[in-house]
Structure 1
Amino acid sequence: MKALVFHGPGEATWQDAPDPALREPTDAIVRVEAVTICGTDLHILKGDVPDVRPGTVLGHEAVGEVVEVGSAVQGVRPGDRVLVSCISACGRCRYCREGAYGQCLEGGGWILGHTVDGTQAEYVRVPFADMSLHALPASVDAADAVLLADIFPTAYEVGVLGGGVRPGDTVAVVGAGPIGLAAIATAQLYSPARIVAVDVDASRLEAAKRLGADAIAVAGEAEPLVADLTGGLGVDVAMEAVGVAASFEQCTRMVRPGGTVANIGVHGGPAALHLEDLWSRNVTIRTGLVDTSSTPVLLRMLIDGRLPTSSLVTHTFELGAMEDAYDVFGRGAETGALKVVLGGPTHDTVTLRDPPEPT
């Protein structure tokens, strides 16, 4: 088969790779229909995730068709169309029993494209298939469904639920990339009074407005705007959706006493925690790896047309154009790429999906 193989920081190649095979009775083999690229994949290429060894197939999000299952798999069978979750869960350990699948103790958690071969390939082995695959009806577009493999549950669980968004809150989302936009979309399920989107890129801020942000600000103007909107108090919830020190520290400056900072971003370096300013302000700081326990709920909402997934997909590629897709996604400030989706025959093409009209 063909797959995107990581060779070390700055280097990944679409090349021949061994076909995956069942290793455990709980495994399934999935033929990939569609995949996407995550900001975490870019962090891997930068060398921010040293656990990923050269020779690993990248990717942790996919839609596809089951072609083979192990003897212990009961929930799916060959021919089923499925969503491949970014998190694998044994279903038996202490954390899985608590629904904290991202912390699985029995070889699960975030493993695809991390510690085992991932989804950016023609075929993928999915461990713990009964817990890690979700049946998809044929009516659901693959480009929509694949966004539920990671960014929507991550934004919802780590940002919205972790931040404790409540009706009437003022919420700031720092970083209007795909994960931040998904946070803006899902925060609205809890009726906040206003959402403030912060980014350095004007096109991403416009996308944030289309998805429901009530106010937008470039990074350097965000703090005065928040102070003005809240009478100097600060936001109830500040979500960090970039993964750099400056954005995390900005969140801690914008949050009100008694508020919550929800860190969604993947950090490749340290950030300063200014306890000299925060110690007396009753601020809660939440970090987290997504568990994907919310995926069934989000999937029902997608089927019912309640999630704006298609609004985030700006570019589509054939699966064989993986290296081109990484280039376009990695230069999002120049290309306008928010989320790219790959799938179909192996020949190089690119399609720019029309952005939604403002409402």
Structure 2
Amino acid sequence: MKALVWNGINELGVEQVPDPQILNSGDAIVKVKLSSVCGSDLHLLGGYIPAMRAGDVLGHEFLGEIVEVGSGVQKHSVGDRVVVCSFIACGECWYCKKGLYSCCDNGNTNPAITEALWGFAPGGCFGYSHAMGGNAGSHAEYIRIPYADVGAFSVPEGLSDETALFASDAAPTGWTGADVGGVQPGDVVAVWGCGGVGQMAARAAMLLGAERVIAIDRYPERMSMTERFIGCETLDYTKQDIQGELREMTGGRGPDVCIEAVGMEAHSDSPSFAYDWIKQQAFLQTDRPTALREAIYACRKGGSIFALGVFAGAVDKFPMGALMNKGCTLRGAQQHGHGYIPMILERMAAGEIKTDHLMTHPMSLDDGARGYDMFKNKIDGCVRSVFTLDGHSNGHS
């Protein structure tokens, strides 16, 4: 089959790879219809996640049709249209029973790397390096789904592919940040980042009852999109003093919840950005925590900060004093989407969560390398390149 593979830092190619096979009774094979890029993919592209091998198939946000099921699959049949959670969870271990699906003990079949890095291994993820299980990704004609009864979800009739696609990763990731971050009715919430995940975190905060949500970015087209489709306020950090603006908006206190939806390649116009960038390029630190620092400083005393963007290793100049002395809570997680996706699909069907606008640049899988270049460099206002297969047109339906 045809797939988009990683062949080295900033080197992608469309190649022929072996078709996936049923390996366990709980597996399903899905014929991919739509597969989106994600901001976290850029960390793989740039070599910041060192557990990639040439020929690895990328992609973890997708929708398709089941074409084969293992003997143990009970909830799905051939022909079902499904969206699949990007994280792989068994549904039966202690963590899954607690709703901590991305911490699953069994979803990552190659746990040694992350056990050495982080003490314990999280669950697996499609198309996200051998540290996260070495699972083939969704930028391909077909993909194997382990634990299909747990991680694949039937899409309601009448809900478009272009909307349901983002119930795979962006929407449940954003919901994880707002929910586990502790958003309560009446809160003021600040979100760093107006990409797909940042927009979904802002929308989740609104649906959880936040009184005011402010999203922070520097790209006018992303901020305009956030205002139009999400319905919250935005701030441009290149033109406004974010700390001062957030204080003024909250009567001097600061936001109740700060959600960092940028991750390990954060940008800033402050002097700390140059410091972080140089240290990262020299491999003296793995991650640039610029936006996370800002979120910690901005958060009100006793408030909550959630690290939703992907981080891989160690950061420098972490403001531990601010976190401790202000009495703040810092949490982070990969998405626990298995617990949210059914509800998200219902809200999408009801018109409460809009996502098809994120698909700014649909294109053929053959154009995968160009799609990632447009996404990485924000060419033509690209928010998400989405690779279309199975006869989808190169335009919105």
Q: TM-score, normalised by structure 1?
A: 0.92
Q: Which residue does the alignment assign to 1:280?
A: 325
Name which of structure 1's ranges 263-272 and 91-100 shifts more when overlaid on structure 2. 263-272
CA contact (8 A) 1:319 1:345 kept: no
Task: Report Cα offsets for 1:187-218 as digits up to 9, x if no partner.
Answer: 11122221111112222221222121234232
C-alpha RMSD of the superposition: 1.9
8 Å contact 1:62–1:149 — kept in the other structure? yes
Give 2:226's aligned amino acid: A
- Cα shift at 1:92: 1.6
Pairing 1:90–2:136 present: no
Tell me if the contact between 1:35 and 1:341 (Cα under 8 Å) persists in the aligned partners.
Answer: yes
Q: 1:253-272 alignment to 2 at 5 Å? A: 253-268=297-312, 270-272=315-317
Output the CA distance in 2 between the equivalents of 1:257 and 1:341.
Answer: 41
1:36 to 1:223, Cα distance in 2 relative to 1, 3 A: same
Name the SS of the counterpart of 1:225 in structure 2: helix
Deviates more, 1:281-290 or 1:135-144: 135-144
User: Contact 2:57–2:127 (CA<8 Å) still a contact in 1?
Assistant: yes
Aligned ranges for residues 61-210 of structure 1 at < 5 Å? 61-108=61-108, 109-114=123-128, 115-157=134-176, 159-210=177-228
2:246 alignment partner AA: V
1:271 to partner: Cα distance: 4.6
Q: Which moved more, 1:63-72 or 1:195-204?
A: 195-204
SS at match of 1:39: coil
Matched, 1:213 2:228: no
Within the alignment, does 1:56 sit opposite 2:100 as a pair? no
Matches within 5 A, 1:290-329: 290-292=335-337, 293-329=339-375
Q: Distance in 1 between matches of 2:215 and 2:320?
A: 25
Q: How many residue pairs end up in the alignment?
A: 350
Which whole-Å CA distance do the structure 2 matches of 1:146 and 1:346 have between them?
16
Structure 2 residue matching 1:121: 3-state secondary structure: coil
Residue 16 of structure 1, CA deviation? 0.7
Q: Distance in 2 between matches of 1:162 and 1:272?
A: 25
1:51 Cα deviation after fit = 2.7
Give the match's secondary structure for 1:253.
helix
Aligned residue identity for 1:207: M
SS of equivalent to 2:87: coil
SS at match of 2:124: coil
Inter-partner Cα distance in structure 1 for 2:243 and 2:17: 49
Q: Are positions 1:7 and 2:7 aligned together?
A: yes
Separation of aligned partners in 2, 1:261 and 1:148: 24
| 1:85-113 per-position Cα deviation (integer Å, ceiling 9, x unaligned) | 10111122111111211111113423310
Structure 1 residue 130: Cα displacement: 0.8
262-271 vs 244-253, which moves further: 262-271
Q: How far is 1:275 from its partner?
A: 2.2
Percent of paired sites with the same residue: 35
- Identify the residue that residue 244 of structure 2 maps to in structure 1: 224
Report if aligned partners of 2:388, 2:394 keep a CA contact under 8 Å in 1. Answer: no
Greater displacement, 62-71 / 311-320: 311-320
Tell me, in whole angstroms, the C-alpha distance in 1 between the residues paired with 2:341 and 2:381: 28
In structure 1, stretches of 5+ residues that fail to align are: 355-359
Query: Does the 8 Å contact 1:209/1:216 carry over to 2?
Result: no
| 8 Å Cα contact 1:314/1:339 also seen in 2 | yes
Matched, 1:251 2:265: no
Distance in 2, matches of 1:38 and 1:215, equals 22
Partner of 2:254: 234
The one of 294, 318, 339 aligned to 2:384: 339
Q: Say if 2:33 and 2:390, in contact at 8 Å, map to a contact too.
A: no
Note if contact 1:319-1:346 (Cα within 8 Å) is conserved in structure 2.
no
Cα displacement (A) at 1:267: 2.3
How far off is 1:262 after superposition?
A: 0.8
Q: Distance in 2 between matches of 1:239 and 1:14?
A: 35
Secondary structure of the residue that 2:325 maps to in structure 1? coil
CA deviations 1:31-50 (Å, max 9, x no partner) are 11111011111111111222
Question: Aligned letter for 2:125?
Answer: I
User: For 2:254 and 2:19, how far apart are their aligned partners in 1?
Assistant: 53
Cα separation, 1, equivalents of 2:192 and 2:302: 19
C-alpha separation in 2, matches of 1:107 and 1:142: 26
- Residue range with higher mean Cα deviation, 134-143 or 173-182: 134-143
Q: d(CA) in 2 for partners of 1:309 and 1:216?
A: 21
Partners in 2 of 1:172 and 1:315 — Cα distance? Answer: 28
Measured in 2, the distance between the counterparts of 1:235 and 1:24 equals 47
C-alpha separation in 2, matches of 1:36 and 1:230: 36
After the TM superposition, which of the residue ranges 266-275 and 111-120 deviates more from structure 2? 266-275
Greater Cα offset, 46-55 or 277-286:
46-55
